[in-house]
Structure 1
Amino acid sequence: MDELIISVSGLRGIVGQSLTPEVAGRFASAFSHCLPPGQVVVTRDGRASGPLLAASIADALTGRGREVVSAGVAATPTTGVLVRRLNCVGGIQISASHNPAEYNGIKLFNADGRVIPADEGERVRAAFLEGRVEEPTSTSPGKTIELVDSTSAHLDLICGAVDVGRIRAKSFPVLLDSNHGAGALLGRRLLESLGCRVTVLGETPDGAFDHTPEPTAENLTGVAQQARESGAAVAFCQDPDADRLALIDENGRYVGEEYTLAVCVNHVLSQSPGPVVTNCSTSRMTQDIAARHGVPFHHSAVGEANVVDKMLLAGAVIGGEGNGGVIDPRIVYVRDSFISMALVLEAMATRGLPLGALVDELPRYAIHKAKVAVPRDRIPAALAALEQHFTTAQANHADGLRLDWPDGRWLLMRASNTEPIVRLFCEASTEIDAASTVREAEAVMQPVC
């Protein structure tokens, strides 16, 4: 589907079709229109189309009198760190995250170094769609400053947040799969700084993915085999912009992304108890872990910006999403695979346990997912029918409809922003229970649709 997807956090599309340098430049101009005077950081992941889009974005910004800090290839969380460290008014990351190689996209950051909140993003979106752009602030164009070292500031923050000496003493053998994205530049530096014996797969950030870029079990079978054969204590698997992290344990077992957040939350709470925030589609594991530690737990609507909003409101010590996106406020309010790696290693070193044992002591649930075609005008009726049918569940309308049962089972129904469908997510103690609940929900929705 050749469609430019525009959201409140940015846009994405197929390069040369829906996403062209001209479109990227206009979107950057709309962003600039909504910003106060000041510098803007521009970064990109390793995709081959990145330099062309970055040049167009820089031209659009400097043509309107803006000064651009060009950081080249850098991870999404690193972009947030740079915005804050350099006192910029905003940041632009060029990446399509886990989408296929023919895609690229733009993610926007505000002056706080976080992905822009929905209200700010909506202003940019409206400015772009309405063709509003910032007029030049002077008769002379701005300039582009090339940043030579984009990773040290981020590295220093992470090393200041964990016990480097304790981790270094273990000299962990580690496999890092960056899959030719932005992650290896800081990933190798970080792991070597933590005393690890590092092997990196896909180290060159050229976007020539060795496997489908989303770090799921089916895409990482080859990496899991290499981890097992190499004797790695852990394999860390990043997505192309390095804001998500999947884990493979010492036996070559794909642990997955849900457990990345759970392991990190359990470790952080053991050191610094405090509130925890996840989105409403994240596994109940994290909620159970918060209860074990006796700390408040909060759900947010789906979306990184929503998680961050709730974290700030709750004063959370950690938060994130079940797709392997850990947000540690000590570093930056952005999903961050690098602090995730450091926290996992610190947990292993502190407990004296392998990753597999840390995972096996956590609560275990099964998630079943489905999608149902529903005309947009029938979605409210479909959600109402579900709420009326499942009378023993507690309903929450913060993001679509979430139903929670006393036995810990939950069902989330969310309308897609881009398709006339409703997505169903159910988590239960067994796959049979989760699948059965989803089938029942589908049957309830069918007459309404």
Structure 2
Amino acid sequence: MTRLFGTDGIRGKAGNDLTRELAANIGEKLATLLSHGGEKPKILLARDTRISGQMLALAVASGICSAGGEVLWADVIPTPAVAYLTVKYGASAGVMITASHNPAEYNGIKIFGEDGHKLQDELEEKIEAMMSLPSSSLVCGADIGTVRLCSSALSDYENYLISLSPSPLSDLHIALDCAFGTASVSAERIFSSLGAKCDMLFDSPDGINVNSGCGSTDISYLSEYVRKNGLRGGAAFDGDADRCVCVDENGSPLDGDVIMAALALDMKESGMLRGGMVGTVMSNFGLVRFCEENGIRFIQTKVGDRYVSEEMRLWDYNFGGEQSGHIIFGDVMPTGDGQLTAIMLFSLMRRSGKKLSELAAAVKKMPQLSKNIPATPEQKITFLTDGEIKAYLSEVKQQLGKHGRLVARPSGTEPCIRLTAESDDEKLLPALLGSAAEKIAARIKSVGKEDICAE
């Protein structure tokens, strides 16, 4: 049976893979799991701007209430707000209805524990095991749970982020791409309150335009806008504002690796970096070299900010993140926060007196090229277990040595296998990636499609 939870919660097409029945069942089983000694669990619930968000959120709420849980309804707020407020409000858990950077037809369910961290695999497996069991904890009468509007949720989160800025952002003229997502309800107040002059882009969501031609996965408009208007820089968020990528004054991109390098070096020099930094297997090798050159310990883990967070806590590190822009400031926020990342980067720019392009120049990224191979769940299993694929990847690793690498992994949120090639010699990348994609597609074609699409 296909696992319900991926690398970042549950994800699927709303109304098809992710139905109201499934959402209600998740809510019921979560409330049942969290019920202890007859005490009603209190669960914070929110959504992003997708048209399916209300349907799924109300379904989750009905499931929670049917098992006697209490719902704190926060409506549209960023995912990191749910993580932070779950702890602040003393909730038993937090649930966010979002599909993050995916198109509007998708949606998902992210669950946070009482400590604000995403659920560990063991708890997800418990919920999955309960899903196929008949309802045994439904209540009636006065034991049925209620839904209470939490009207202060957004302002509580905004005020907290404002308080975390190391400096005002006065005299900075920046652009903020809200991806028609949750940053649309928070970014302008946060950054304006810090003194920045903000040009707001893609901040009028209609339920179906989230991440469409904008946001952290498509910064082309933001780049051109910043360059043409002579701004100091820009930040782009995704649908639930838990990731951020930026552009400098020339419109050149700063992905998560570059942002982490700049911030980690500043934290090290100011004595704020504890232990080192955690990245993932997708972190550019240029970031690894940067850490070696600057005496910063660097640990790599599986893709997914939940795994970065777990590794940070294991080693008591307070900083880590992903190339995609999920960046975690562990001492102040339990999960990735795109708006907090932008605050920290723009504050560094102002405090140092450097341009974003100068901060980015500290790390020299290794040339990189990516491609996706469409894959069904069965094909992903074939990829993970096929001996010929394993032997091929091992052979490529030996050939490249320290001058490059090939990373191949099944996506935890989308129906594909992701390939990423890096090499000091950029000219080698197309052939390397093309050969790998052809080889892997050929091995999994017996159980599905073998067409290859560029990322």
| Equivalence for 2:294 | 293
In structure 2, the residue matched to 1:282 is 283
**Aligned residue among 401, 408, 416 for 1:413:** 408
Mapped to 2, the partners of 1:251 and 1:420 lie a distance apart of 35
| Partner AA of 1:10 in structure 2 | G
Deviations along 1:29-81, one digit per CA (max 9) or x if unpaired, are 12222224421000111112212222222122122211111111010111100
The equivalent of 2:31 in structure 1 is 32
The answer (yes or no) to whether the contact 1:43–1:92 under 8 Å persists in 2 is yes
Q: Say whether residues 1:182 and 2:182 are aligned partners.
A: yes
Residue 339 of structure 1 and its aligned partner are, at CA, apart by: 1.3
* Whole-angstrom distance in 2 between the partners of 1:133 and 1:172: 57
- Counterpart for residue 421 of structure 2: 426
- Cα distance change of structure 1 residues 114 and 375 upon mapping to structure 2, 3 Å threshold: closer
CA displacement at 1:357 relative to structure 2: 1.8
Moved more, 139-148 or 435-444: 435-444
Report the structure, 1 or 2, having the larger helix content: 2
1:145 aligns to 2:148 (yes or no): yes
Query: 1:309 and 1:213, CA in 2 relative to 1: closer, same or farther beyond 3 A?
Result: farther
Query: Percent sequence identity over matched residues?
Result: 23
Is 1:87 the counterpart of 2:93? The answer is no
Q: CA RMSD in A?
A: 2.9
Pairwise CA distance, 1:183: 0.9
Deviation at 1:232, TM superposition (A): 2.0
Alignment deviations for residues 142-189 of structure 1 (CA, whole Å, 9 cap, x no partner): 222211122344344434443224x33xx2011111122101322122
Q: CA deviation at 1:329?
A: 0.8
Alignment of 1:70-85 (within 5 A): 70-85=73-88
Is the partner of 2:186 in helix, strand or coil?
A: helix
Deviations 1:64-118 (A, max 9, x none): 2111111110101111001010111111101111221122211111111111112
Q: Does the CA contact (< 8 Å) of 2:43 and 2:71 recur in 1?
A: yes
Distance 1:57 1:443 in 2: 42
After superposition, the Cα gap between the structure-2 partners of 1:216 and 1:420, relative to the gap in structure 1 and judged at 3 Å, is closer
**1:192 corresponding residue in structure 2:** 192
Offset, 1:257 = 4.4
Q: Which runs of 5+ in 1 are unaligned?
A: 394-403
The secondary structure found in structure 2 opposite 1:108 is strand
Deviates more, 1:84-93 or 1:11-20: 11-20
Change (3 A) 1:347 1:60: same
Q: Which residue of 2 aligns with 1:53?
A: 56
1:314 maps to 315
Q: Deviations over 1:111-148 (max 9, x none)?
A: 11111112211222222244556433874312222111
Q: Which amino acid aligns with 1:67?
A: E
TM-score, normalised with respect to structure 2: 0.85
In the TM superposition, 1:151-190 aligns within 5 A as 151-165=154-168, 167-168=169-170, 171-190=171-190
- Provide the rounded CA distance (Å) in 1 between the counterparts of 2:247 and 2:324: 15
Alpha-carbon distance in 2 for matches of 1:284, 1:5: 32
Aligned length: 432
TM-score scaled to structure 1, two decimals? 0.86
Structure 1 CA distance for aligned equivalents of residues 440 and 187 of structure 2: 46
Q: Secondary structure at the match of 2:327?
A: strand
Structure 2 gaps of 5+ residues are: 445-455
**Structure 1 contact 45–205 (Cα < 8 Å) conserved:** no
Distance 1:78 1:205, change over 3 A: farther
